[in-house]
Structure 1
């Protein structure tokens, strides 16, 4: 009987150790390994001069508990070192609600981002829940503000038209307003924090939407996928998705929400390479 008891105790101890190791991995290891992932996105109406145009996409930094300013600083430096043509930032730069402290800490770091054709940013729900007025102040001060407006990148006589949506939960999207006065057949790219924005009512034709918010689910189970996604459309997890209206890219982001864990879902700096399918890769 004592032998059986010892085996049972050893078995329970082994299970406990395995659980502790798995928990430690999700909290202390994978969550802190930021990958640079490269994606090729084919866009039929991409102007030929933008064939091969590269975009570094940052989202969901969530500076705050377990995500330090030093960690974000390294992410920004790695992003700059990629030397992209442009940088897109799609919100949730801070984590905590009802405080300006994290906002005032993260934005001087974000203002170090550099790309030859510019850095373009919108806000996420956490930026508003922290402090809308302060987030908008820094967004404008940074020179990166794309919220509710249109900006154009030019190469010779050809143009790439960018527009920024407000956050779906905490702001007004105003997608049609953002792209007002753009020409009918132009290549339009929308930055919007929440990918559910694609399923709202708007009339402007879009070639691509770039979003974050989901964190890829943070936990992705083999053969099952992410059990939890903070979106209405549960197909919107991460990567490139073809919707009825447009192509949608969702980054897994950098930080965390709800629980500080990641499993089979590394944080990422996403590098998007835009391609015209009529031209050779």
Structure 2
């Protein structure tokens, strides 16, 4: 073999090794490293008693291919270990379509979640694609159901009102109906799987909407961001975003959907800390 041929073979081998390592990282390694990311969420109308209130958010678990029940069980344990004031679960707990098997696996794990003020859950499109009736059964049985209703958290004489929307793609949102029992000056937090929900026609003032669905894009390119997002508003990738109707927080979630990779977009358990923001009009 000539010197040039050897060099070409070495280059090809090096490139093949680099591609194999990159593929292994994006498919097998990064998706398995779940970060605990802490976010401070300033809200103008947050009652003083809820300054410092913590919410652990779990979303887009996608139990199924490449995401095992054992993996989700560890995520649940780590979430409980954070000792949050509340836990919000915002849908897509299973991956496969037209089957109840994964639904029956994941919900007993979700029912292990514990928080001082409770665990509150809504459904996502994959939960409906798997089986709407079975997902609604477990949502109610879990005691976590906040879909199409609101619940009040109290600290002394002050309160925080939580409400839940149906999935944007596969259910009715009914945001105004969910908060029908709330009062004019309440600080309202909405759980809604799909962040595009904040751009729909509803009238109820919201301090914060907590969503998932995007997985952060799963792949984030330097200087560009995620090339693929399953939302109409391409601003809605992840993190805290200001919108016309509500502050919006989107978690990168745990599992995968369109393709089984993550690159520069680690899965996360999001821990939100609510803090009072001074009113600029005061």
Aligned to 1:267: 267
- TM-score if structure 2 supplies the norm length? 0.97
Aligned to 1:15: 15
**Does residue 74 of the first structure (1) align with residue 95 of the second (2)?**
no
Aligned to 2:149: 149
RMSD over equivalenced CA pairs, Å: 1.0
CA separation in 2, counterparts of 1:260 and 1:74?
A: 20
CA separation in 2, counterparts of 1:278 and 1:192?
A: 26
CA separation in 1, counterparts of 2:240 and 2:277?
A: 16
Aligned to 1:94: 94
Could you list the per-position Cα deviations for residues 35-69 of structure 1 after superposition, in whole angstroms to 9, with x for gaps in the alignment?
00000000000000000000000000000010000
Aligned to 1:33: 33
Secondary structure of the residue that 1:196 maps to in structure 2?
helix
- TM-score if structure 1 supplies the norm length? 0.98
Shift of the alpha carbon at 1:10?
1.4
CA separation in 2, counterparts of 1:8 and 1:169?
A: 52
Aligned to 2:230: 230
Aligned to 2:49: 49
Aligned to 1:180: 180
Could you list the per-position Cα deviations for residues 164-211 of structure 1 after superposition, in whole angstroms to 9, with x for gaps in the alignment?
000000000000000002111110000000000011000000000000
Q: Unpaired segments of 5 or more residues in structure 2? A: none
CA separation in 2, counterparts of 1:186 and 1:117?
A: 18
Shift of the alpha carbon at 1:2?
2.5
CA separation in 2, counterparts of 1:13 and 1:231?
A: 40
Could you list the per-position Cα deviations for residues 78-103 of structure 1 after superposition, in whole angstroms to 9, with x for gaps in the alignment?
00010000000000000000000000
CA separation in 1, counterparts of 2:84 and 2:248?
A: 20
Aligned to 2:249: 249
**Does residue 159 of the first structure (1) align with residue 193 of the second (2)?**
no
Secondary structure of the residue that 2:16 maps to in structure 1?
helix
**Does residue 113 of the first structure (1) align with residue 116 of the second (2)?**
no
Aligned length: 279
Stretch moving more, 177-186 or 108-117: 177-186
CA separation in 1, counterparts of 2:229 and 2:60?
A: 14
Shift of the alpha carbon at 1:278?
4.0
Shift of the alpha carbon at 1:255?
0.4
Q: Unpaired segments of 5 or more residues in structure 1? A: none
